[in-house]
């Protein structure tokens, strides 16, 4: 069901893109991509607290520590609120000390407007940062389909709102169009998040009324694990999404569009398989708690066999991409040579590594992966610029991602099997 819902949200996303390109124009669509991508990173700036829910809640449920569970969830909302406020204040200070307009080559808008569009979006992303906690809660309680259901409903609703905006306000100034799109996206996303938060607590018949104080060691452990999650997820986000900024800085926002179109196209198989794999995070945590190495190895074996089929599906998808793009985006788009091929391989690597990284998340063995991510962050820009200087153009950013993730798919599975072997010996 998670995969089906993710497919629906992916299709709605694809339908939005040509509408937004026609409504905003090439340059301003590039601005929207830059703004939206930047604030996706905001959702990761929670010190890993929300991600820790998926690992810690199965443990608390297994030990039947319900009051501690309530206290933990309550604290997550409080801490997320403090972090969101801190991010908002910090960004307001940053926006008046750093020239986003020049840094991102947005020369066709005034500095005042660029600052305004970023402030509007950071406000909504910070508010939704708090309201997004429900997504981790659903996954932690092994009801991840509701997370994907909420995302699908949000994307479908945004599509409908964009259609209405194009119909009702077709001729307003382009700056007002960007503001309108930002408001529609932020407000509707907030409404959906609030509705599904209420649904979660009703579904689980859970409240946050508890007088149990969290042990100091428990809090330290959560923050320690959470900080690792945050660095890992921000690092992965950087490796996979910094490309738009590298392109904008070295070429122009206009050239972000063909890269974004191909990337968005491959988001469909990526998101579908990510959604289908997301329950494994908490399932791995449960198996690891119970020291069930047979179940863990069985899941690994089934996934490795399934990945053969996944590879065939994604390769066939890549072969049809030029045809899909011609139908999807009506105006003629120049796609750089080999961009689809490089993106296809990078997408397959990403799906593969996600499965095994979920085991590391669920079992809490994060140190080696954390080190690998930090090294990848350090190498991402130098590798990209090497290929840019070699005149690989837009392909440079995808090739750098390919090289980095190639090391992940070798090292991470070996670490996972090593952990299971230790678990087997200690049984």
Predicted confidence at residue 70, as pLDDT, reads: 81
Q: How many CB atoms lie within 10 A of CB 211?
A: 7
Concatenated DSSP letters of 52-85: HHHHHHHHHHHTT-HHHHHHHHHHHHHHHHHHHH
Tell me the two tokens of residue 185. 């996206």
Give the contacts of 287 (CB within 8 A, at least 6 positions apart).
Answer: 295, 296, 299, 362
Cα–Cα distance, 145 to 268 (Å, whole number): 17
Query: How many domains is the chain built from?
Result: 1
Cα–Cα distance for residue pair 112/96, rounded to 1 Å: 10
User: How many residues in total does the chain contain?
Assistant: 427
Indicate the SS3 state at residue 141.
coil
Place of tokens 């409908």: 160
Helices 2-24 and 293-328, interaxial angle, to 10°?
30
The Cα 272–Cα 148 span in angstroms is: 10
Per-residue three-class SS string for 205-258:
CCCCCCCCCCCHHHHHHHHHHHHHHHHHHHHHHHHHHCHHHHHHHHCCHHHHHH
Which helix (H) or strand (E) segment holds residue 171: the answer is none
The closest of 274, 256, 255 to 266, measured between CA atoms, is: 274
358: tokens are 């979920």
**Angle, to 10 degrees, between the axis of helix 280-289 and the axis of helix 133-140?**
50
Structure-token pair, residue 150: 């909420």
- Structural contact between residues 157 and 192, judged by C-beta atoms closer than 8 angstroms: yes
Torsions phi, psi of 366, nearest 5?
A: -110, -15
Q: Burial level of 205, CB count in 10 A (0-12/13-18/19+)? A: exposed
For the record, the structure tokens of 5 come out as 């819902």
CA distances from 238 to 53, 115, 235 (A): 23, 22, 5
Q: How remote is the C-alpha of 1 from its chain's centroid?
A: 19
Contact 349, 408 (CB under 8 A): yes
Q: Is the dihedral of CA 256, 262, 266, 267 positive or negative?
A: positive
Domain extent for 343: 2-425
Closest CA to 229 of 373, 120, 104: 373
Cα distance between residue 330 and residue 335, in whole Å:
14
Check residue 260 and give its pLDDT: 76
Local mean pLDDT, 10-residue blocks, the chain (427 residues): 74 82 79 72 60 70 76 80 86 79 71 82 86 81 81 90 89 85 90 91 79 62 70 79 73 70 80 76 79 86 91 91 76 74 88 88 83 89 87 82 89 89 73
CA angle 135, 53, 62 (to 5 degrees): 120
Is there a contact between 409 and 349 (Cβ–Cβ < 8 Å)?
A: yes
- What's the rounded Cα separation, in Å, for the pair 217 and 35? 39
């Amino acid at each position: 069901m998670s995969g089906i819902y993710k497919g629906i949200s992916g299709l709605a996303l694809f339908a939005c893109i040509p509408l937004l390109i026609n409504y905003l124009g090439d340059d301003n669509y590039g601005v929207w991509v830059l703004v939206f991508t930047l604030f996706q990173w905001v959702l990761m700036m929670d010190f890993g607290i929300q991600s820790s829910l998926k690992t810690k809640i199965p443990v608390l449920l297994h030990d039947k520590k319900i009051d501690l569970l309530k206290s933990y969830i309550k604290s997550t909302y409080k801490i997320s609120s403090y972090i969101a406020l801190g991010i908002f204040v910090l960004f307001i200070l940053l926006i008046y000390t750093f020239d986003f307009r020049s840094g991102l080559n947005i020369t066709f808008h005034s500095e005042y407007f660029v600052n305004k569009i970023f402030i509007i979006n950071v406000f909504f992303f910070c508010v939704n940062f708090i309201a997004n906690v429900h997504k981790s809660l659903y996954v932690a309680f092994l009801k991840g389909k509701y997370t994907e259901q909420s995302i699908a409903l949000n994307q479908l609703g945004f599509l409908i709102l964009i259609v209405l905006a194009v119909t009702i306000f077709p001729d307003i100034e382009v700056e007002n169009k960007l503001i309108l799109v930002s408001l529609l996206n932020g407000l509707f996303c907030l409404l959906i998040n609030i509705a599904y938060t209420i649904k979660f607590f009703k579904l689980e018949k859970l409240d946050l009324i508890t007088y149990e104080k969290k042990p100091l060691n428990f809090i330290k452990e959560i923050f320690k694990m959470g900080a690792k999650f945050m660095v890992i997820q921000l690092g992965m986000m950087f490796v996979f999404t910094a490309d738009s900024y590298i392109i904008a800085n070295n070429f122009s926002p206009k050239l972000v569009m063909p890269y974004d179109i191909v990337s968005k196209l491959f988001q469909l198989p990526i998101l579908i398989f990510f959604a289908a794999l997301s329950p494994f995070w908490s399932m791995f945590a449960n198996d690891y708690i119970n020291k069930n190495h047979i179940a863990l190895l069985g899941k690994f074996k089934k996934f490795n066999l399934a990945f053969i089929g996944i590879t065939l599906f994604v390769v066939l998808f890549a072969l049809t991409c030029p045809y899909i793009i011609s139908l999807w985006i009506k105006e003629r788009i120049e796609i750089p040579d080999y961009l689809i091929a490089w993106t296809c391989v990078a997408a397959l690597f990403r799906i593969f590594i996600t499965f095994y990284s979920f085991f590391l998340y669920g079992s809490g063995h994060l140190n080696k992966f954390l080190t690998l991510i930090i090294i990848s962050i350090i190498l991402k820009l130098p590798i990209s610029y090497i290929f840019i200087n070699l005149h690989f153009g837009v392909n440079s950013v995808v090739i750098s991602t390919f090289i980095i993730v190639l090391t992940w798919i070798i090292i991470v599975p070996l670490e996972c099997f090593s952990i299971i072997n230790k678990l087997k010996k200690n049984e």
